[in-house]
Amino acid sequence: MIILFITCFTLALAADGAPSAHSPDRVGSPLGSQNGKYVNPVAKNLPDPMVIRHAGKYYAYGTNAPGEGYKALVSNDLVHWDDAGFVFRKTNTSWGREHFWAPEVIELKGAFYLFYSSFGAVEGKRQSHRISVARADSPLGPFVDVKAPLLDFGKAVIDAHPFIDADGSAYLYFALDKSENPQSELHVVRLSDDLLSVKGEPVFCTRPDVEWEGNEWNEAPFVFRNGDTYVMMYSARGFFDPNYALGYATSKSPMGPWKKSPLNPVLKRTTEVSGPGHNSVIASPDGSELFCVYHIHRNLEGGHERDLAIDRMHVTTDRAGEIVLEIVGPTRSPQKLPSGANAP
């Protein structure tokens, strides 16, 4: 059984859900669900996408307003997305001032927690990236800072990924920011039961050490559990690089050690797609399929502009019991709608 607690689809969903005070604007694919198909990208301007499901609706968060905060998208089927506006916005007293990157939302005991990285003052007047956490009663916010910064051990950190295991223990995975560190490495630290403080010191997970990764970046961790094995998906190379790609590593413990798959990369550029990566994973509306949610470059030469894409993902094991992760993509041709989606 695959456990992705962060995406909430294995948990009992609350019935009071997510009514929105916003008047959403449609941002979905021009092809939509014509003839029961979709075509990537399914939404514009959603770098570093994170998707959760709550009360029958999908909520997507990303680096889409980096100077101000975060906007959310809402969907019934992972294909047709509406813009729900800001769910978190900096104030005059916020610690974070700019570079609001890579948000992730997790639900715990009826509340929603937004983990994010931003640029603020540390050690006096010096500016640096740190990870903070904000809380809300709805996946559409408004999220209010409860610990900013949450994680500060003297280094610039980005790409926060919270994970709650089957026994209720909580962990925070993150990347060192290459701007202040020799390499962008992945680390993990225990979280308190209320998710508002760290326990102990960060533990090393991975660094770029194979050819396809280049020699500077491992980032964008996303962890799920398959049986007794933990799978950490991650991206390598700079997000702006057309060769930005996605791989995975496995471990028998959420704290590692981690073993990278020889099958990597499992999502990479094609003649039609540039820089696929920085992913999350979510189930189809009826729960029978898994989808990898990731961003792609708007231009084939790479760059900062990135859009939202989805493709089917399969998790199996080989004869030796090793995890085999396959993503059927990146695609730009018409694909069947996610199972359980209702075509208009």
The residues, ordered by sequence, that sit 6+ positions from 37 with a Cβ below 8 Å of its Cβ are 31, 334, 335, 336, 337
Q: Are 254 and 188 in contact (CB under 8 A)?
A: yes
Question: 143 versus 34: which is more confidently predicted?
Answer: 143
In this predicted structure, the answer to whether residue 161 has a pLDDT above a threshold of 60 is yes
The residues, ordered by sequence, that sit 6+ positions from 133 with a Cβ below 8 Å of its Cβ are 113, 114, 115, 116, 145, 146, 147, 148, 150, 195, 196
Per the listing, tokens 């997510």 go with 18
| Alpha helices in the chain, H assignment, sequence order | none
In this predicted structure, the answer to whether residue 28 has a pLDDT above a threshold of 90 is no
The residues, ordered by sequence, that sit 6+ positions from 117 with a Cβ below 8 Å of its Cβ are 99, 100, 101, 102, 129, 130, 131, 132, 157, 158, 159, 160, 174, 177
CA atoms of 6 and 165, how far apart (whole Å): 9
Pairing of strands 81-89, 69-75: antiparallel
pLDDT tens sequence across 37-59: 999 999 999 999 999 999 999 99
pLDDT tens sequence across 268-283: 999 999 999 999 999 9
Mean pLDDT of the chain: 91
In this predicted structure, the answer to whether residue 6 has a pLDDT above a threshold of 50 is no
Q: Are 58 and 46 in contact (CB under 8 A)?
A: no
Q: How much is the average pLDDT of 198-203?
A: 96
pLDDT tens sequence across 204-259: 999 999 999 999 999 999 999 999 999 999 999 999 999 999 999 999 999 999 99
Query: So what's the pLDDT on residue 54?
Result: 98
Query: So what's the pLDDT on residue 15?
Result: 29
Identify the helix (H) or strand (E) that includes residue 224: strand 218-226
- Residue 326 has, within 13 A of its CA and on its CB side, a CA count of 7
Q: Residue 23 — pLDDT band, cuts 50, 70, 90?
A: very low
What are the sequence ranges of the domains in the chain? Answer: 2-336
Q: Put the strands of the sheet holding 290-297 in their side by side order.
A: 277-283, 290-297, 306-317, 323-327
The pTM assigned to this predicted structure is 0.92
Query: So what's the pLDDT on residue 27?
Result: 60
In this predicted structure, the answer to whether residue 3 has a pLDDT above a threshold of 80 is no
Phi/psi of residue 110, nearest 5 degrees: 85, -5
Q: Which CATH superfamily is domain 2-336 in?
A: Glycosyl hydrolase domain; family 43 (2.115.10.20)
Lowest pLDDT segment from 32-36, 162-166, 210-214, 340-344: 32-36
